[in-house]
Amino acid sequence: MSLSILLSMSAFALAASISPGPVNLVGLSSGSRYPLIRGLIFVSGATLGFLVLFVAVGLGLNQLFELWPALFTVLRWAGIGFLLYLSFLLARSDGELSSDHIKAPGFWTGALMQWLNPKAWLASAAGISTYAPNGELQILIIFTALYAVICWLSLSSWVVAGAFFRDAIHQPKYLKRFNQLLALLLFLSCIVVIFSTEFL
Residue 48 has pLDDT above 90, yes or no: yes
pLDDT at 143 over 80: yes
- Torsion, CA 139, CA 146, CA 16, CA 11, rounded to 10: -90
- Closest Cα partner for 20 from 190, 160, 186? 186
Q: Which of 13-27, 36-50, 52-66 shows the highest mean pLDDT? A: 36-50
pLDDT at 72: 67
Closest of 124, 111, 123 to residue 26, by C-alpha: 111
Helix residue ranges, H only, the chain: 3-18, 22-33, 36-58, 61-67, 69-91, 107-115, 118-131, 137-168, 172-195
Domain regions of the chain by residue span: 3-195
The sign of the torsion formed by the CA atoms of 64, 65, 68, 70 equals: positive
Q: Considering the entire predicted model, what is its pTM?
A: 0.77
